[in-house]
């Protein structure tokens, strides 16, 4: 087997009842978030009740995939052997266009170019056959 020669995987999400739909959509390169049918608020991360009104009447909605960097950190040291070949990488809080904030990575750019307030758009990292991680990349706007 060649698996011993592959770099170790980073820790991966373990989908469960409240998150399975989210990870299934991500695997299909769709970015969905929960919206409360009772109060109309969006929330992230996925959970069994609304974080605004505690209703369990939640629905999944396709999100715009747009957001902006709220805060970020450039990581130069791998926190786990699975990140050893990924440094430096950007860990960020992104404010989604729908409102909630999401912890994610900013990818497909030089980490030194990331700025607070920067417009970003979702992209998908197929880490394994089962797990795809929604991440964000700069949403470059065309000049002229």
Residues that bind Zn ion (CB under 5 A): 36, 38-39, 50, 52-53, 55
Q: Is 53 or 84 the residue whose CB approaches Zn ion more closely?
A: 53
Q: Which residues contact 122 (CB under 8 A, 6 or more apart)?
A: 31, 63, 65, 66, 67, 134, 135, 136
Q: Is 48 or 79 the residue whose CB approaches Zn ion more closely?
A: 48
What is the smallest separation between the CB atom of 78 and Zn ion, expressed in angstroms?
A: 39
Q: In terms of DSSP bridges, do strands 66-75 and 89-96 run parallel, antiparallel, or are they unpaired?
A: antiparallel
What is the smallest separation between the CB atom of 47 and Zn ion, expressed in angstroms?
A: 11
Residues 115 and 17: their CA atoms lie apart, in Å, by 35
- Asked if residue 66 lies in contact with residue 31, where contact means CB atoms within 8 angstroms, the answer is no
Q: Is 38 or 87 the residue whose CB approaches Zn ion more closely?
A: 38
What is the smallest separation between the CB atom of 48 and Zn ion, expressed in angstroms?
A: 12
Q: Is 29 or 47 the residue whose CB approaches Zn ion more closely?
A: 47
What are the tokens at 98? 């729908």
Residues 37 and 55: their CA atoms lie apart, in Å, by 8
Return the DSSP state at 63: -
What is the smallest separation between the CB atom of 103 and Zn ion, expressed in angstroms?
A: 22
């Amino acid at each position: 087997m060649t698996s011993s020669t592959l770099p170790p995987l980073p820790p991966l999400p373990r989908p469960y009842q409240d998150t399975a739909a989210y990870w299934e959509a991500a695997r299909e390169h769709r970015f969905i978030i929960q919206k409360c049918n009772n109060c109309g608020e969006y929330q992230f991360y996925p959970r069994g009740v609304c974080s605004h009104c505690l209703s369990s009447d939640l629905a999944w909605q396709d999100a715009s995939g747009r957001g902006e960097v709220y805060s970020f950190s450039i990581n130069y040291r791998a926190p786990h052997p699975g990140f050893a070949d990924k440094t430096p990488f950007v860990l960020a809080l992104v404010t989604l266009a729908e409102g909630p904030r999401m912890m994610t990575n900013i990818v497909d750019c030089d980490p030194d170019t990331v700025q607070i307030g920067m417009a970003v758009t979702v992209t998908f990292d197929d880490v394994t056959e089962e797990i795809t991680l929604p991440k964000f990349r700069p949403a470059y706007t065309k000049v002229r």
